[in-house]
Chains A and B, each alone.
Chain A
Amino acid sequence: MLKKINKFEYFAPSTLAEVISLLAEYKGKAKLYAGGTDVLVQMKQRKITPEYIIDIKKIPELNGITYSPEGELTIGALVTHGQFAISKNVPEKFTMLKEASLAVGSVQTRNRGTIVGNICTSSPAADTPPALLALDAGLKLVSSTGERTVKINDFFTGPFKNILKDTEIITEILIPGLPENSGGVYLWHSKITEEDETLVGVGIVLTVDNLENRVCTNLRIGLGSVAPTPMRAVKAEDFLKGKIVDEETIKQTAEIAANESLPRSRAEYRKEMVKVQTKRALSQALKRIER
């Protein structure tokens, strides 16, 4: 691999206002830099050759994990996978996102790489998106002309592609509070190579009416690595809603999820893994509600 990366001009602004004005000025020629774990790799591979690098690490307002009295969790753009995984500000009901953060790369890359960066790269194999899909996360996109909040479900458009404009920055992830009797789980299965890329990732948030009846009132299933983008298994979700969650319905839900996944390589194996992991994740989610 090349030792050098292309030449560029470097900015390290201290306010968000400066960032969005730089983005507006340089449009597609600038790249945001936080942890660098994705951006520098893409530069080394000459997949991107930005003329301007905007280092956002010095902007305090992009830091922090906050939990509001309304039960909403906000994660700033600079929060790394490592920081999130050990954060005390994250209530137990969001443990699944910690599980997904720990599935990313190695200690070294988790210490630098940010969850928002992971989303921006939009790899179909990324670990946090399936969990964030299950959590119905929103993303706050800010540019010099205004801001918008989009659901992560509407964000990805293809492998390494998304709706983010080159004048926009994702400033935070917003995770809505979970209703009572909800449980979430993230399970992943990796191929053992030096990249340790996730082969199948399954994120689940299950809600039941109460612990006696166990009727599914809501379900979101996020799948990673089994389609051109991280995806929701909507058919499987719809199937279980309104039904009693038991061994049989869990099995059927997992089969439907496997059938609606769209893996390109090693499709048969991956579909089988979706089935196995979805089944496991659903029973574990139920156990977490009971706890």
Chain B
Amino acid sequence: MATEEKAQSHKPPRNVHSPQEWLRQNLFNTWYNVILSLLSIGFILFISKGILTWAFTEAKWSVIPANLQLILIGSYPRDQIWRIWTVIYLLSVLLGMSAGIWHGIVRRFAIILACVWLICAIIPFQLATRGLFLGIVVSIAISYLIASNKISWHRWIVIGWLLSFPMTMIVLRGFGENAVLTSNWGGLLLTLILAIVGICASFPLGVFLALCRQSKLPAIRWISTTYIETIRGVPLITILFMGSVLIPIFMPEMNIDQVVRMMIGITFFSAAYMAENVRGGLQAIPRGQTEAAHALGLNYPKTMLFIVLPQALRSVIPAIVGQFISLFKDTSLVSIIGLIDLLGVAKSITANREWLGLQAEVYLFAAVIYFVFSYSMSYVSTEVEASLGVGNT
């Protein structure tokens, strides 16, 4: 009888709490928690009251819409903006198709992004602009439907993503008379380009350096270690200055674009940190994994590619994304070198006589933009981690 009773499967007990109960259990359960809670609530009210009063009564927000284009794209020629739209449309189509093929997080990401564009379309910009925003949403949806469940296309989509990068650069810059020189790239556009290039280039370079640091050959190990430790011992800004000042002095014949030099500096800097993060993951992989792979006849590159790296990278996703986020924010240092990125634009607006004294509004807006992007990366990383959770111990 007892066994019969046991065999019945019970649902786990659910802990359902009313809001009052939750408050009591979490904030007011002991006398010192009551004091702490009351103090914190008072502090939060005090701060937010100050900020909200300022934001709704004193702040002159008109500076933002008046300079929105400047903030977003800097001095990018206004008659060439179609280039940026083209890039956005191309990437949206790619994203829509990827969502159709892979579902999961990609689809969720596409939906969120489409919602953001939809909100943009509601904001009262010029009618043409709103139409273009709406067009993005539509093109994401259509490409999603077209590619839906066409699993066999996935190879083409991957190639598409790989090509999207040089394509973006070419479309944004263009050739001949109408070419938009990188010195005209600015604002959020420049920040994003620097960050994306930095992330896409420093990641593989970092993995490569981490593998080299574990190499059996002392020379390779030594070179990699020296590189990593040197870079980590130097602030990014000095590397950017070197890129900006020293390269033209030492290599005057090589006429490298200023923006490209910053990209290289950021990439080399970030790769060293990336390498250390990846190395942490590599060291956590038990030796039995490589041995089992070798025993199957997988050579070194295949063992790394199929066995070691997937496990190592998965375990250091939080650290890697943290590195991506700090890279994204560190791009703001190029404004010291004289590039007009998001922060540079903010600086130049507040220096404009027309908008004098509006630092708080402009910098707060810039901060919100940085935050939105950084937080999105952080959010995506948690999602990716969760979706890879199965089978990972």
Do the two shown chains form a genuine complex with each other?
A: no
